[in-house]
Amino acid sequence: MARDLKYTRNIGIMAHIDAGKTTTSERILYYTGKTHKIGEVHEGAATMDWMVQEQERGITITSAATTAFWHYLNETYQINLIDTPGHVDFTVEVERSLRVLDGTVATFCAVGRVQPQSETVWRQADKYKVPKIAYVNKMDRIGADFLAVVSEIKEKLGANAVPICLPIGAEDKFQGIIDLIAMKGYFYDQESKDLVNYEVREIPEHLRAEAEEWRGKLIESVAEYDDALMEKFFDDPAKITDEEIIAALRKATIDMAAVPVCCGSSFKNKGVQFLLDAIIRYLPSPLDKNAVEGVNPKTNEPEVRHSTVKEPFCALVFKIATDPFVGRLAFMRAYSGKLDAGSYVLNTRSDKKERVARLYQMHSNKQNPIDFVEAGDICAAVGFKDLRTGDTICDENHPIVLESMTFPDPVIGLAVEPKTQKDLDKLGIALGKLAEEDPTFTVKSDHETGQTIISGMGELHLDIIVDRLKREFGVEINQGAPQVNYKEAILSTVQHREVFKKQTGGRGKFADIIVEIGPADEGVTGLQFVDEVKGGNIPKEFIPAVEKGFKSAMANGVLAGYEVTSMKVVLKDGSFHPVDSDALSFEICARQAFRKALPKASPVIMEPIMSLEVVTPEEYMGDVIGDLNKRRGQITSMDSKGNARIVNAKVPLSEQFGYVTILRTLTSGRATSTMTFSHYAELPATLAKEVIEKSGNRRVADDEE
C-alpha cells in the first residue's frame, strides 16, 4: 500500500454549534461514495453522530474519524476526515483533533456569521498552526449574507479571507455558485442524488461585473506570494492561468497567510463538491507540513522526523475510545515510518514496550482491519495495555517524545453515588474508563465526606457522562447539585522558617528550611521552585524532596481545601543533621511550612468566570441585562445583527446554573446564549466566607503527614 503521501489529506471540520459540521461531513461521505444514503442530523441518522446521546440531542459529542476517497484531475486522493463537536463543553475533542490534523475546514453559518465558539476553535487551530479553509454554509436560509461573513472573518478573526467563489442568489433563491478561478457558474439541482448534480454554465450577466471585481481581488491577494504572478498582474492580468492562481493560493494557505472562502448549502446538496475540490487544492498534504519536532528522551536533544516511510516510526495517540466489541481503541496519527500490526512499539511516557495487536482504519464507529500504517495516516490500534491521550509511541531503538497537548481544567463538579451497593464496583470501573477517554473529565474522592466527585467542562458535559454511565455501563446513580471548581491563590510574599524534629528512640527525623513563599511570576502555572541554598547547608539530594513536599501540598489549599494553582517558593537556607536527616523529613517539613506560611500570604479563593454571549430580540434587552446584573455579570459589549441584539458579558459560573431555562422564560424562548470559559478571578470576601464555611474548612491536619 506504499502510496504517495501527496495524495493524502488529514482534515477536520470545526465550527460553532449548528453551523452544519455534521451535515457537511455527511454530504462529503455521500459524494465520495462512502455512504449510499444521506444521513440527517435532525432525524438522528447521521453516520458521524453514532452515539445514542448524539442522535437524541442532534449534537456532536465525540470527534468521529473516517476515511473517504475523492477523484480530482484523474488522481484519487485519500481524505482522513474528523468531524469535531461545536459545543464548548467538548472543546477538548476539537483541541486533540487539531493537534494531529494538517488542515481544517472552518464552517460558518451564513446567518449567524462568526459566533463565540467559532472564535474559540479558530484560536485553537492557530495555536497548532493548522491551515484553514472557510466554508459559509446555510446560504439558503433567510438572512444569509456571504460577503458579511467574509468581512466578519476579517474583523473578528483577523484572517486574510479570500473568497474563491460567489453565491448566485441567496436565501430561497440560492441556485449555485460562481467559481472565481474558472469564471464559470455552477447551477445545482437539489432534487438530484447524482454525484454531478449541477450544470456548468456561463456567469449570469447581472453578476459578471461583481465576479470580475472579486476575481481581481483574489489575484491581487495571492500575487504577493509569487513574484512572476505579480509581474503578470501589472502587465496583463488576463494572461494569468488558473493553475498559477491555484498554486499561489495553495502556498499562501499553507503558510497561513490566506484563508480561501467558499459557500454552499450542505443540507440542500449545493456546493459540497466544490468544497471537496478546494480541500484537495489548497489544504496541505503531510509532505507540505514541516517535519515534526520532538525530543530524544535519552539525550534530551531535539530531533526531527520527516513524513516518509524510510524514517523510524513515531506516532501520537490523540484519543482513547472504548468500543463494546473491540475494547479500548487508541486513535493515533503516524508522523514517520511504518508500523505493522502485531509488532512492538515503545511508549515514551511509561518507557515500556507495548504490543499493537491489530490496526484499523476507522469509519465513524466501524472498523476496517488494515495490515500496517504508514507516515501521514490516521488509524486506530487495539491490544495495548497502557496508553493515554497525548502519549508518543515510536520505534524501540529510536525513541522520541513529541509535544503533547494541553487541556483546560474542569470548572464544574457533581457528587455521585450508586443507587445500590452492588453497583459500587461497576461505578469505579466505568468512571475509570470514561476518565481515560476524556482528559477534561476527572474523578476524585472527597476526604471529608467520602463522596465521589466527578468534574467536567459544563452542565451538558456531566449530563452526557451520567447518561453514558446508565446506558453503556448499566450503573444507576444518584447525583448531587452541581458544584463550582474553585481554586486558591496567594497575593503577598512571606518569609518563613520551618524546623521539623521527631525523636522516638533510635534514629530521629530532622529538617530545617528557610523559604520565601509568594505569587508565581506572570504566566507561570503550578509550582515555581527556585533553589538559592549556598555552601551545601542543605545537601543537593534533599532539595528535590523539598520541591516535592510543596508540590503535593498545593493540592489542598489552606482556606477551603481547594487546589492552589500557582505559587513561587524560593529556598533560601536551612540546615540538616548528618544522621537524622533524610529526604522524607525534608518533604514533611516543606508540607508543614506550606500549612503555616500560607495563611500569612493573603490567601484568596478564585472562581471561574465565563464569557457569555446572549442573542435576544430588542424588546427583551432590558430584562436580559437586568438579570445579568443580578448575577454579578459585567457587560463587556453590545452589538446588533439584523433585528437581534447581542450582549457580551463576563459572568461567574456559580451564578449560571440553570441559566438557559431562565433565559427562555424571560424572552418567551426567543433568546439563545453560549458560554465559554474565560479566566479565574478573586471571589468577593462575603461569598468567599460562605464557601469556606460550606467546605467546613477542609484543611488537612498536620498530624496526617
Residues annotated in a binding site: 15-22, 83-87, 137-140
The Cα–Cα gap between 606 and 131 comes to 36
DSSP SS3 for 70: strand
Nearest CA among 279, 292, 253 for reference residue 10? 279
Return phi, psi of residue 477, to 5°.
-130, 155
Question: Number of H helices and number of E strands within the chain?
Answer: 16, 38
- The answer to whether 255 and 224 are in contact (CB under 8 A) is no
**Annotated binding-site positions for GTP:** 15-22, 83-87, 137-140
> Among 217, 189, 215, which Cα is nearest to 203's?
215
Q: Specify the amino acid at residue 682.
A: E
**Dihedral (C-alpha) 523, 529, 534, 540: value to the nearest 10 degrees?**
-140
C-alpha span between 186 and 199 (Å, rounded): 6
Distance separating alpha carbons of residues 273 and 200, to the nearest angstrom: 13
Residue whose C-alpha is closest to residue 535's, from 593, 480, 576: 576
Q: Could you tell me how many residues make up the chain?
A: 705
Which DSSP string corresponds to 443-491?
EEE-TTT--EEEEESSHHHHHHHHHHHHHHS---EEE---EE--EEEE-
Write out the three cell numbers for 586: 525534608
Residue that has been written with the C-alpha cell 462529503 in this structure = 28
In this structure, the strands spanning 366-370 and 378-382 are unpaired
What DSSP designation does 394 have?
A: E
**Distance separating alpha carbons of residues 511 and 496, to the nearest angstrom:** 14
- C-alpha of 297 from chain center: 26
Query: Distance (Å, rounded) from C-alpha 328 to C-alpha 345?
Result: 17
Between CA 433 and CA 428 the distance in angstroms is 9
Q: Where are the beta strands (DSSP E) in 256-326?
A: 259-263, 292-295, 302-305, 314-323
Which of 608, 524, 594 has the alpha carbon at shortest distance from 566?
Answer: 524
Three cell numbers, residue 412 = 464544574
